[in-house]
Amino acid sequence: MAKTVLLTGASSGIGRATADLLSQNDFKIIATVRKEEDKTSLESLNKNIKCIFLDVTNSDEIKQALTLVKQETDELYAIINNAGQAYTGIVEYANIEEIKQQFAINTLAPLEITKTFLPMIKQGKIINISSVSSNVVYQFISPYCASKKALDIFFQALTLEMDNPNIKIVSIKPGIVKTPIWEKSLDAAYQRLNALPDEAKEKYQKKLNILLEKVRKSIKYGKEPEDVANLVLKILKMKNPKLSYNLGFGAHIGEILSKFSPDFQCFILKCGEKYVKK
């Protein structure tokens, strides 16, 4: 029988690519989406994909999702926490409510979804789509970095605390992936930049513009969503996967930097910033 996987954030990018690939490889996918058109489009890819509507930050909807999933299956083989958002902004002028929303989506939602659905897994895996940003602090996306770091810490703790050795928890840490999340993040960043007071623009506008353009260019050379999907499939088939996997050159560089002191990390990143300006 096909093993059933719960996958969040499946409308586009990594989520859609993962749903498509897994459904072609003997997995039944219960994918969460927000819009009717996304449901129709995703379910048309393969008969093994079933979509349910879910706002991952809404506790009542998570409870309703549990009821819907139990109507489809008695047991889950895996939970893939993919739904996410990237908040780009300046710490000194950060909008606290937007930061709370960043943690709600990237950290607390995967935690609540896992708590809710964990009793349905007897033997299987929990896979979080984290980020290289959980290893290193990058300027102007610190809320995103912090939310992904917190995500990894919670699930590393779950690995230590849980008494079921048959459930494996894995964090996938990609570098930049060509997904809508970054384009949306950049568009929002430019809007926030334009809305800043004059004193903030004087302090940060030039530096922020340079780095935002660097990110925009980097997206063109990022990994494809299918690369992440292939790694997910590989992990699902492993008996004993590692706790963490890097994906892409940037992710490996981030892991190397994380082994050094914060002072050295800042020195290297500032050197990189000067290189970009040239």
The pair phi, psi for residue 17, each rounded to 5°, is -60, -40
* pLDDT grade for 260, boundaries at 50, 70 and 90: low
Q: Is the pLDDT of residue 122 over 80?
A: yes
For 116, the 3-state DSSP assignment is helix
**Comparing 82-91, 169-178, 266-275, which segment has the lowest mean pLDDT?**
266-275
Between 9-13, 122-126, 198-202, the lowest mean confidence (pLDDT) is in 198-202
Counted domains in the chain: 1
Burial (Cβ within 10 Å: 0-12, 13-18, ≥19) of residue 187: exposed
Q: Residue 216 pLDDT more than 50?
A: yes
* Angle of the 198-219 helix axis to the 180-195 helix axis, nearest 10: 160
Q: Give me the active site residues, please.
A: 144
* Residue 20 near residue 7, CB atoms below 8 Å: no
Read off the pLDDT band of 249 (50, 70, 90): low
CATH number at residue 207: 3.40.50.720
By the 8 A CB rule, do 79 and 6 touch? yes
Mean pLDDT, residues 117-145: 92
pLDDT of the residue at 179: 78
User: Does 16 score more than 60 pLDDT?
Assistant: yes
Query: pTM for this one?
Result: 0.89
Token representation of residue 33: 């989406």
Whether 245 contacts 231, CB under 8 Å = yes
For residues 227-252, average pLDDT: 91
Integer CA distances (angstroms), 121 to 73, 93, 137, 249, in order: 11, 43, 34, 33
Q: How many residues belong to the chain?
A: 278
Q: Which residues touch 144 (CB under 8 Å, ≥6 apart)?
A: 85, 86, 87, 88, 102, 106, 131, 133, 185
Is the pLDDT confidence value at 277 over 50?
no
Alpha helix segments (H runs only) across the chain: 13-23, 36-43, 59-72, 96-103, 109-117, 142-161, 180-195, 198-219, 225-237, 249-258, 262-277
Rounded to an integer, the average pLDDT of 107-125 is 98
Mean pLDDT (whole number) for 135-156: 91
Q: Is 34 helix (H, G, I), strand (E, B) or coil?
A: coil
What is the bridge-based pairing of β-strands 167-174 and 49-53? unpaired
Would you say the C-alpha torsion 145, 146, 148, 149 has a positive or negative sign?
positive
Give the structural domain span for 192. 3-277
